[in-house]
Structure 1
Amino acid sequence: MRTKPVLTDEDVKIIAAAAEAHALEHHWNVTVAIVDDGGHLLHLHRLEGAGASTAEMATGKARTAVLGRRETKVYEDMIKQGRVAFLSAPMTAMLEGGVPIMVGTDLVGAVGVSGVKSDQDAAIARAGIAALGIENT
């Protein structure tokens, strides 16, 4: 048996605050979702002005990043390159903006963001994770 790191309530607050600060700094109306390593929702905040659908999409991106243990951009790129069979995978949001949170080789959760361009969503998620001060690989 081994010991595995997990996200604490404080970690979630740090990630959320940093992600939302990054979004607000750029005047981006988004939803930020944070999930644990099982894809269970720990945090969801739809910033003022973000569309209603962004709550579902951000949550889906976070869950997809956890299930796949990789950024959701990987799936978006595969589909764009013609691997459309991937659309039948049991993941709900294969668009850029979902970023897994890794501590060494351990997956501890993910951040999903929706509301602006996909690369901007991902930048917000990465800004939140960076606030933990870990090497997220």
Structure 2
Amino acid sequence: MSITLEQAEQAIKAAQQKSRELGVKMNIAIVDAGANLTAFSRMDDAWLGSIDIAIRKARTARFFDMPTGNLGQASQPGGSLYNIEHSNGGLITFPGGLPLKDGSGKIVGAIGVSGDTVENDHTVAQAGLDALQSA
């Protein structure tokens, strides 16, 4: 089972709301269980360069079923996954990508957010994830 378009739009709406609360402009991507883009939103005046980053964060989170920030920790020099960001056509290994799970804990997709600090990117992605888990 993959995330539905309705669920993806719900996550994007929650992420946009958190972005507005923080006063930032974000690009928000949702991929399905196969890492295919399901929904995308670029808030007015969000950075153009962050479009690709948001999509890659979502895909990276789904490819490895973990938050992108966790993958980034393991990919530091001397780490067990050093240089992994060069695989799969290019990964993003800093915060802002999170796997999305259904009620049984099965991963159904991922969210990726980019457009501000990695801390804010992660906070906005978490808002999207939380919206799905509370539904």
Q: TM-score of the superposition, structure 1-length normalised?
A: 0.86
Contact 1:28 1:115 in 2 (8 A): yes
| Match in the other structure for 2:117 | 117
| Match in the other structure for 2:100 | 101
Q: Which runs of 4+ in 1 moved over 3 A?
A: none
The structure 1 residue matched to 2:68, chosen from 68, 72, 81, is: 72
Spell out the pairing of 1:1-137 with structure 2 (5 A cutoff).
5-80=1-76, 82-83=78-79, 84-90=82-88, 91-103=90-102, 104-134=104-134
- Aligned residue pair count: 131
1:90-117 per-position Cα deviation (integer Å, ceiling 9, x unaligned): 2421121000002234110000000111
1:63, 1:51 → 2: CA distance?
Answer: 19
Question: C-alpha root-mean-square deviation of aligned residues, in Å?
Answer: 1.8
CA 41–123 in structure 1, closer or farther in 2 if over 3 Å, else same: same
2:133, 2:64 → 1: CA distance?
Answer: 23
Could you tell me which runs of 5 or more consecutive residues in structure 1 were left unpaired when the two chains were aligned: none
Residue 81 of structure 1, CA deviation? 5.6
Residue 69 of structure 1, CA deviation? 0.5
The worse-fitting range, judged by mean Cα deviation, of 78-87 and 26-35 is 78-87
Could you tell me which runs of 5 or more consecutive residues in structure 2 were left unpaired when the two chains were aligned: none
